[in-house]
Amino acid sequence: MEARDTELRNGPLQDAELKKELDATLHARRELGPEYESALLESFLEKVEQRVDGTVDRRVRRQLAEQQMVVARGGRPAAHNDGDISFGERFGFGMISLILAIPLSAIGAVNAGLSGLFVTWAGILGVNAVHATRPWPWPRRDRGGDTD
């Protein structure tokens, strides 16, 4: 519970730090000119990626710690419904989309500027939101014991 409260308190601070970084990058771009645009963009995107990676790592560690606590107390980890996508599958999809987001963000920002970057991230967030809320399109069956 304390970890969640700390994360909630640090959330706006991290957003403010990221906003400062973006403002500094835009200011540097104005001063240095368009020839340094790709280097500045790559530097900013690297900072965003590090921030996202840190957040994902904290969430995964917290989830694993919660599952270990349940198992240590003699319980069983929460079971997923057969029709739902598991945590690992969602996590893998999210990580792949974040990896692909780096070049897509660079392409969008170079070709359309800041609006292209926002459109790119809106698309990435939309795809991940749809994937996260969607159950499997086919029913899963147990492989053992079921004879038709």
Model pLDDT for residues 69-80, shown as the tens digit of each residue: 888 887 665 554
Whole-number Å distance between alpha carbons of 95 and 88? 10
Report the chain's C-alpha Rg in angstroms: 20
What is the model's pLDDT at position 136? 59
Domain range annotation of the chain:
1-79, 84-136
What's the pLDDT band for 98 if we cut at 50, 70, 90? confident
pTM of the model: 0.41
Model pLDDT for residues 30-40, shown as the tens digit of each residue: 888 888 888 88
Whole-number Å distance between alpha carbons of 42 and 48? 10
